[in-house]
Amino acid sequence: MNHLNKLLLACALAMPLAHAAAPMAHTQAPGYYRIMLDRFEVTALSDGTHPFPVDTVMTNISPRQALQDLADADLKLPLQGSINAFLINTGDKLILIDTGAGALYGDCCGKLVAHLRAAGYQPGQVDEIYITHLHKDHAGGIPAFPNAVLRVSQAEADYWLTPANKAKAPAFLSTFFDAAQAAVAPYQASGRFQPYQDFGPLEAGITALPAPGHTPGHAAYLIADKLLLWGDIVHVAPIQLPHPDATVKYDSSESTAQATRASLLRQAAEKHWIIGAAHIAFPGLGHLRRWRGEYQWLPLNYDEAPAAQP
């Protein structure tokens, strides 16, 4: 052993033993998150995340301002956008609000059923599905529930299920009509498609509210007067909370979407509702605070063992 080798050996012996490098997992914990609201157990379910095309989809805001808003929130492109849905256990029934994208968005998404199972439920146990609106990322997962009754506002059903509307709509919405019709078809065939004519109470403690603009019959669901599951009222919180007039090109009426967003943001802040959002970072549950003229998102505090409230 020459001098150099002796030196290297001495160094190696002096070093602490290193464990083999652990592989990185690149995965998250199962995508569910639970809260209790009075007697209701609410489980947020992640369907996945995907790069949200902020630079091509946002309207009524300049690309420069949109990027500045992201920078102000220490975010940049590509921005992962969440797709969230919510399972409500009323004690008597399981009601799923939205169903994720199913197979329609590719490998990023369609994870809702796996996360529902991880949360301790089976798809066959879901009694009812309430849809906020029939876009692909909310309706694509509808076929996975063999026993559920499907409920959506009559206005929403009429819009997406009427062939003449597809002919009138922008070309980029064409596949949205196809997807909505395909998702609903098995429920229609088996008598499990039950649109509701009027907004209002659907179940004790669950009320459908009109929230039009993103789509013509878009609904929000108010749970126990405390939690508003509002679907697509906000797509990119770091942009649309400082700039609520910012819209997305998928809005069926930008002006109606702006008015609905303004109204629900104000009500949520005033009434201290919890918001359950389809596209705010998972689990998409938090409060809104009005602070110095802007809305702020306050994620819910984490509770390891959510229990029924007295």
Binding residues vs Zn ion (CB under 5 A): 137, 232
Q: How far apart are CA 256 and CA 248, in angstroms?
A: 12
Cβ-based nearer residue to Zn ion, 136 or 166: 136
Cβ-based nearer residue to Zn ion, 131 or 288: 131
SS3 state at 142 = helix
Dihedral sign (CA 274, 276, 279, 280): positive
Q: How far apart are CA 13 and CA 154, in angstroms?
A: 75
Cβ-based nearer residue to Zn ion, 82 or 90: 82
What the block records as the tokens of 59 is 């309207």
Angstrom distances, CA of residue 139 to CA of 142, 183, 305: 5, 7, 31
SS3 state at 275 = strand
Query: 73 φ, ψ to 5°?
Result: -100, 15
DSSP category for residue 171: G
* CB of 137 vs Zn ion, minimal distance in Å: 4
Write the Ramachandran bin of 229: left for phi over 0, alpha for psi from -120 to 50, otherwise beta. Answer: beta
Cβ-based nearer residue to Zn ion, 43 or 132: 132
Side chain identity, residue 122? Q
* CB of 136 vs Zn ion, minimal distance in Å: 8
* CB of 229 vs Zn ion, minimal distance in Å: 13
Q: How far apart are CA 135 and CA 176, in angstroms?
A: 6
Cβ-based nearer residue to Zn ion, 90 or 213: 213
Cβ-based nearer residue to Zn ion, 128 or 232: 232
* CB of 98 vs Zn ion, minimal distance in Å: 8
* CB of 165 vs Zn ion, minimal distance in Å: 19
Cβ-based nearer residue to Zn ion, 232 or 251: 232
Q: How far apart are CA 177 and CA 156, in angstroms?
A: 11
* CB of 279 vs Zn ion, minimal distance in Å: 6
* CB of 230 vs Zn ion, minimal distance in Å: 11
What the block records as the tokens of 176 is 């949205």
Pairing of the two strands 294-299 and 285-291 = antiparallel
